[in-house]
Amino acid sequence: MPDIVSPDVRSRMMAGIRGTNTKPELTLRRALHAAGFRYRLHDRSLPGKPDIVFPRYHAVLFAHGCFWHGHDCHLFRMPSTRPDFWSEKIARNREVDRRADDELSRAGWRIGVVWECSLKGRTRRDIADVIGLCADWLRGSEQRLEIRGI
């Protein structure tokens, strides 16, 4: 199926998609800050440049977009235009995520992932539930946390 917009328009649209300070990330950050947690943002010295870093708890949180990270939920659908490009792109993103997780784990960091579908869409959770799960994990000793939509 051909694209419905010109290549210039598509390029401009794709360039406007942010990698940091996304809406799910900002929602998560605001709620965590309101709950009393303090953190650093996008620490370039750490593998994968985690979205939120909690040095006090030696933990990091990633706010993953379901489309860009190929999540198996209702928010992810492979585009019908250029499917080869998109499947390779998403596979690369997942490989980068896996490598960053491995490196962070080896360095002793605890890793949490909050998926976009837990914060929006028909499977979203109440933000208080998401923050409660994050808070319990941060204060606990579990190595991994993954929050998905209901």
3-state SS string for 11-22: HHHHHCCCCCCC
What are the domain boundaries of the chain?
A: 20-147
**pLDDT higher at 147 or 9:** 147
13, two tokens: 């649209």
Please state which architecture CATH assigns to domain 20-147. Answer: 3-Layer(aba) Sandwich (3.40)
Residue 40, classed as helix, strand or coil, is strand
Indicate if the pLDDT at residue 19 is higher than 80: no
This prediction has a pTM of 0.88
**DSSP character for 144?**
E
Rg of the Cα atoms in the chain: 16
pLDDT tens-digit map of 71-92 = 999 999 998 888 999 999 999 9
Mean pLDDT for the stretch of residues 45-65:
97
